[in-house]
Amino acid sequence: MVILGLNAYHGDSAACILVEGKLIAAAEEERFRRIKHWAGFPTEAIRYCLAEAGISLDQVDHIAVNRNPSANLLEKVLFTFSKRPSLTHIKNRLTNASKIVDIKAMLCSEFHVSESRLKAEVHNIEHHRAHLASSFFVSPFDPAAVVSVDGFGDFVSTMWGTGSGNRLTISDQVNFPHSLGLFYLAMTQFLGFPRYGDEYKVMGLAPYGRPCEMDKMRKIVHLKSKGHFELELDYFLHHSEGVAMVWDNGEPTVGTVYSDKLIELLGPPRMKDEQLSDYHKNLAASLQEMYEDAFFHILEHVSRETKTPNLCLAGGCAMNSVANGKIFERSPFRELYVQSAAGDGGGAVGAAFYVWNQVQANPRTFVMDNAYLGPEFSNDEINSELRALSFELEKQGCTVNLIEDEDELCRLTAAKVTEGKVIGWFQGRMEWGPRALGNRSIICDPRRADMKDILNLKIKRRESFRPFAPSILRESVAEWFETDYDVPFMLQVYQIREEKRKLIPAVTHVNGSGRLQSVSKSQNPRYYRLIKAFEMITGVPVVLNTSFNENEPVVCKPEEALDCFLRTRMDVLVMGNWFVERKV
């Protein structure tokens, strides 16, 4: 049985493919289109997934989409009659919903297959059920509490319940217009970060401030009984006027979601390039604190209700790695699984596994213990790109060598890291999800206090307050962090041990924390060997890991890695076994 999973006509459009319940491939459309968070129909991601599975579209048995326009229909109708949103808003939502209904026609058009040949049955899976499935059905837990928190999907912002065997049982949900994701979005926009997906920047800003504006935050978000919460709707526009949203084959955009009443409460919003003041930093800290209060309010209730130590978390808010890192401290849960693409892109995987496990009643047989599900390229393919750009490489004073021995490749790369070089590291299959996890990464020396400035000057050109992440050998986690948990997907932030912080200042955030990625030999052998080689030279089992990009989606193909290398001041590029070094 072949199942094609899709997140379409929404931010982070993506596709995946299951063959007999095993996830063969998954990728976000942005990596192929080269537009961040690309929204629309994921044609190229589908094309890649079919090729990786070695099949054509007419061999697919089921198509699973993480949206169901018919879900919560009564609630939608009642809301429309009670709130009377603008006709433009209603028309836009109906247009987007109609595209989801016409998925089969779009596939036939894009892939030149007649509808009579396309045998696949289309399944529209409710948005949050797909989120929950994307975590539980690929987790190692049985049973587990399941929680999904995000902006909105199919008129719901939050859903929780229990996963057991091959079934999800839903206990409760929070409906439109109340949403923690929308609260975080509104404050992100207010703080001068208007682009889709900018919430992570505010999360990085929060430790620079103090949560001294909680009296204002508590006027915006009210905690209710049994895990529920409500927004004070006067501070928002989405429930009354509607919010302009564009999901049509390009970068997604969301109009302003906060009202003038929020400006009365908080003062003038920060302009995009306005200098960050202490007040802005304190607002960010207070926002994060309020989010965490509401988040753990939900988890406390879910824990009492489910009586299990295991938690599977999903939804866009599951990307809040700071809150995730406090789950063992602030809730009764003792085991946690968050899939590498916890946001809407991951809904493609969830929809596919929902069909495989819950609809088709197949047993669970797959655990996602690594995120390496994207395209990979051979040394010969890489060499072809190097030859095509040989003149430009020579012009920039680059040497190109093939190092066939893996130990020597890792030792030489690690030595360059110790010299303060910035390394582009392009290996194996591209990661699934927004984080670079050692296959499409930029690697640097975490011991250098000036490395953040060097990276921002040479390559990243991003806000100076944003932290860089540590990748650490799995067996060394407890020695360096105040935890000993396996965190392969870089979705939890933990405190670095106080005595170790001065040894790795480049990956230690202002509050002493680090967004941890634990690296085991079984999950990523070559990346593990690189970090091990660095430890052999320095005694430090940690490298700085940031995504291989420059204000663009993470690189996917060798030509994109080379382009990024050549247009920035990166020192070394290691692609497969090819070692490219800039000598000038």
pTM of the model: 0.95
Q: Supply the DSSP string of 378-419, one letter for each residue.
A: -HHHHHHHHHHTHHHHHHTTEEEEE---HHHHHHHHHHHHHT
Residue with tokens 């392969």: 488
The pLDDT value recorded for residue 458 is 85
Average pLDDT of the residues of the chain:
95
Q: What pLDDT digit, counting tens, does each position of 7-46 carry?
A: 999 999 999 999 999 999 999 999 999 999 999 999 999 9
The edge-to-edge listing of strands for the beta sheet with 310-314 is 167-175, 156-164, 144-153, 310-314, 335-338
* DSSP structural state of residue 474: G
Provide the pairing of β-strand 167-175 with 156-164.
Answer: antiparallel
d(CA 241, CA 89): 8
| Exposure class string for 452-487: b at 16+ Cβ within 10 A, else e | bebbeebbbeeeebbbbbbbbbbebbeebbbbebeb
Residues in the chain: 584
The pLDDT value recorded for residue 75 is 73
pLDDT over threshold 80, residue 87 = no
Confidence tier at 85 by pLDDT (50, 70, 90): low
461: amino acid identity, one letter: R
The pLDDT value recorded for residue 368 is 98
Q: What pLDDT digit, counting tens, does each position of 476-526 carry?
A: 999 999 999 999 999 999 999 999 999 999 999 999 999 999 999 999 999
d(CA 244, CA 254): 6
- Contact status, residue 246 vs residue 253, Cβ threshold 8 Å: yes
Cα distance between the two ends of the chain: 54
Burial class (CB in 10 A: 0-12, 13-18, 19+), 136: buried
Element (H, E) at 159: strand 156-164
Torsion angle of the four alpha carbons 139, 141, 143, 144, in this order, in degrees rounded to the nearest 10: -70
d(CA 201, CA 459): 18
Confidence tier at 403 by pLDDT (50, 70, 90): very high
Confidence tier at 98 by pLDDT (50, 70, 90): low
Nearest to 358 by CA among 136, 72, 69: 136
pLDDT over threshold 60, residue 90 = no
Residue with tokens 């079934």: 167
Residue with tokens 């005595």: 499
Q: Which domains does the chain have, with CATH numbers?
A: 2-139+345-359 (3.30.420.40), 149-339 (3.30.420.40), 379-582 (3.90.870.20)
Burial class (CB in 10 A: 0-12, 13-18, 19+), 25: buried
Confidence tier at 374 by pLDDT (50, 70, 90): very high
Confidence tier at 72 by pLDDT (50, 70, 90): confident
d(CA 561, CA 555): 6
Q: Supply the DSSP string of 19-58, one letter for each residue.
A: ETTEEEEEEETHHHHTSTT-BS--HHHHHHHHHHHT--GG
Nearest to 146 by CA among 157, 165, 156, 133: 133
Confidence tier at 78 by pLDDT (50, 70, 90): low
- Contact status, residue 79 vs residue 68, Cβ threshold 8 Å: no
The pLDDT value recorded for residue 67 is 95
The pLDDT value recorded for residue 74 is 66
Burial class (CB in 10 A: 0-12, 13-18, 19+), 70: exposed
| Exposure class string for 79-105: b at 16+ Cβ within 10 A, else e | beeeeebeeebeebbeebbebbeebbe
The pLDDT value recorded for residue 96 is 60
Q: What pLDDT digit, counting tens, does each position of 314-329 carry?
A: 999 999 999 999 999 9
Q: What pLDDT digit, counting tens, does each position of 195-251 carry?
A: 999 999 999 999 999 999 999 999 999 999 999 999 999 999 999 888 888 888 999
Confidence tier at 89 by pLDDT (50, 70, 90): low
- Contact status, residue 193 vs residue 183, Cβ threshold 8 Å: no
Average pLDDT, integer, range 342-371:
98
The pLDDT value recorded for residue 307 is 97
